[in-house]
Amino acid sequence: MDNTIAIEPLQESHLPFLLEVRNECRQFLHDDRAFSLEECRRWFAGTKPEFWLIRLDGEAIGYFRTGNPDRDARSIYVGADLHPRFRGRGLARAAYELFLPFLRDRLSLRVVRLEVLSHNLAAQALYRRLGFVEVDRKRAFARRGGALVDSIIMEKRL
pTM of this prediction? 0.95
Q: Residues 65-102: pLDDT tens digits?
A: 999 999 999 999 999 999 999 999 999 999 999 999 99
What are the structural domains of the chain? 5-157 (3.40.630.30)
Q: What is the pLDDT of residues 17-61, one digit of tens each?
A: 999 999 999 999 999 999 999 999 999 999 999 999 999 999 999
Three-state secondary structure of 84-144? HHHCCCCHHHHHHHHHHHHHHHHHCCCEEEEEEECCCHHHHHHHHHCCCEEEEEEEEEEEE
